[in-house]
Structure 1
């Protein structure tokens, strides 16, 4: 009985962390995206500040995915076979993390600042759209959850 309670407590803590961490991920993605679009369209240099915000965004996205993977194996929703939790959510989020990783890697290549900003804008932008779509889909699958509420 004690083992079950620990697992349940651990699941609840990780679920809350995962729900709260998403705001940091979204904020960093928006900041990186705005900087990238501004740099690309404004023909600004690619600075150390750009590199750092992209790196922090990458780290936060990967941390979110790691927490999500642990939850995946602990979740009663996945064990119940709910398709959204078993397939859609994890697939969309891993793909979003891959996009962020590619965008960050491409921003390191080349000397053309416009190309570096464009890579971040494109890949981080696609990742942001995918993440928002996955969160919105979550609210449709489970109406007790909300986009802005910690669930």
Structure 2
């Protein structure tokens, strides 16, 4: 039984990494298309909207897989992040159950605001600007959250 749980855990973890890679690729494409759209005054196309939707879907999939991984942290897989003894004082133990999830949810909310504002805008320039500002802010929050693993 434990072997099956471990196999499922690692499959979800690999899916989480794969979706992270696709998220990064889509983010780079969106940022470059937004900058190009603003500078060259291009029309906001169906493809731009499609990329924005894929960006948001990727974030939601990351949230789902991340919550599945988080729910297994206290299981028999050998992870002991969720114990209460001294967790708040130790950054390494506090990071995954508290800070990472909170920052990821905040980044998802910021990206959703950008998606909503870009869809409600009438002008192409404001659509590109909303995508650029809100998605870049979400990406910075995500990068900070992930860099906390190595910096602190």
Residue 104 of structure 1, CA deviation: 1.0
Q: Secondary structure at the match of 2:120?
A: coil
**Cross-structure match for 1:27:** 25
How many residue pairs match? The answer is: 139
Q: Secondary structure at the match of 1:108?
A: helix
Moved more, 50-59 or 130-139: 130-139
Given that residues 93 and 130 in structure 1 are in contact (C-alpha distance below 8 angstroms), is that contact kept between their aligned partners in structure 2? yes
TM-score, with length taken from structure 1: 0.84
User: What is the aligned counterpart of 2:82 among 79, 82, 101?
Assistant: 79
> CA RMSD for the aligned pairs?
1.6
Given that residues 77 and 85 in structure 1 are in contact (C-alpha distance below 8 angstroms), is that contact kept between their aligned partners in structure 2? no
**Cross-structure match for 1:103:** 114
TM-score, with length taken from structure 2: 0.83
In the alignment, does 2:44 pair up with 1:46?
A: yes
Moved more, 103-112 or 9-18: 9-18
Given that residues 96 and 128 in structure 1 are in contact (C-alpha distance below 8 angstroms), is that contact kept between their aligned partners in structure 2? yes
Q: 1:103-123: CA deviations, max 9, x gaps? A: 111111131111111110001
Residue 26 of structure 1, CA deviation: 1.1
Q: Which runs of 5+ in 2 are unaligned?
A: 74-78, 88-92
In the alignment, does 2:119 pair up with 1:116?
A: no
Q: 1:36-72: CA deviations, max 9, x gaps? A: 1221232211111111111111111111111001111
Which 4+ stretches in 1 moved above 4 angstroms? Answer: none
**Cross-structure match for 1:148:** none
